[in-house]
Structure 1
């Protein structure tokens, strides 16, 4: 079953390595027949959050928010690609996620984290997991940490390490299972 799974990238830093991880995940999802649009805060130009999408009167939200809201409502699941900044998530990721709420409800998320070092960004993933649950898009139990990202993936997102495809395969199998299960339940009705 083809799913819509946006990949939300979290970094806007110059020379960011997260684009490698995001490109890898987008390609892996597309190879499974899924639609995997990349949501890149560097190209969105979102202002610092002053008011959420839902707080605008109908038809008055900036066009970028209208387009994102439409994409998020079509989604079956989300993959969030996060660096680790000071043992936490990047501010651009928080800002991008916080513009929306109901658009995430009843859909699973999955966390891909990365770092230049050996821990693969897992400390940020723990904080992100709590945030995603609060937004209504709880993360699946597995993570996909990518340590030493610049040695593990080239600039186009092609893996240099054979372990990554094996780990990603299991990770995406799990996300697909949750997306299909929650999709069935959403179609049958939600508590509110």
Structure 2
């Protein structure tokens, strides 16, 4: 399976890259192709036009944006699922993550999403996850029932994305099992055709 891993924090001292690296390693262990879509690396402007509008806009100003978004669109066309890695900003979603998600719509259809949330404190970013539960299905990405929170991320994951706690190292398997099941089920149904 092909999985797009959306990383939304753009802060200079962010911890989300630890979580994204950990997610990629967990997916690769299961034989999946995991590709990180990093809002910080992309440096997308604040949404003015969605991908479907940008790709038909012939202006010189949008040529660079078209190139960036075309690469993402190619990945999304192959994707069987999405893992959204989100920190918690003021009990909500990082603005760059929302911006990244909003550039696309049809590309997400009939593919599951899984939420990996984190924070520096004990709650693991679950308040941001609740906001994502509202946003993701609206753009066509139904979320799997389980969440994977990572509390105290600085001491839970190394800079290389290696789990430093027994809970994270040993108890995350069910989360990824569930995500695998949803990807397989939805891929099988997409191959039969979709309602629209």
How far apart are the structure 2 equivalents of 1:80 and 1:41? 12
Determine which of 111, 120, 128 is the counterpart of 1:124: 128
Determine which of 13, 23, 26 is the counterpart of 1:25: 23
How far apart are the structure 2 equivalents of 1:143 and 1:63? 33
Tell whether 2:80 aligns with 1:73: no
Q: Name the TM-score, length of structure 2 as normaliser.
A: 0.94
**Which residue of 2 is the match for residue 168 of structure 1?**
172
How far apart are the structure 1 equivalents of 2:55 and 2:35? 27
**Which residue of 2 is the match for residue 180 of structure 1?**
184
8 Å contact 1:144–1:167 — kept in the other structure? no
How far apart are the structure 2 equivalents of 1:73 and 1:30? 20
How far apart are the structure 2 equivalents of 1:167 and 1:48? 37
Q: Name the TM-score, length of structure 1 as normaliser.
A: 0.96
Secondary structure class of the residue paired with 1:173: helix
Figure out how many residues of one structure are paired with residues of the other and give that number. Answer: 190
**CA-CA distance at 1:165 after TM superposition:** 2.5
**Which residue of 2 is the match for residue 50 of structure 1?**
48
How far apart are the structure 2 equivalents of 1:165 and 1:187? 34
**Counterparts in 2 of 1:186 and 1:150: CA distance versus 1, 3 Å:** same
8 Å contact 2:55–2:66 — kept in the other structure? no
4+ residue runs over 6 A deviation: none
**CA-CA distance at 1:163 after TM superposition:** 1.1
**Counterparts in 2 of 1:57 and 1:78: CA distance versus 1, 3 Å:** closer
Determine which of 86, 90, 94 is the counterpart of 2:94: 90
How far apart are the structure 2 equivalents of 1:87 and 1:158? 26
How far apart are the structure 1 equivalents of 2:183 and 2:108? 12
- How big is each residue's C-alpha offset from its partner over 1:101-145, in whole Å with a ceiling of 9 and x where there is no partner? 000000000000000000000001001011000010111000000
Query: Which ranges of structure 2 fall in alignment gaps of 5 or more residues?
Result: 59-64
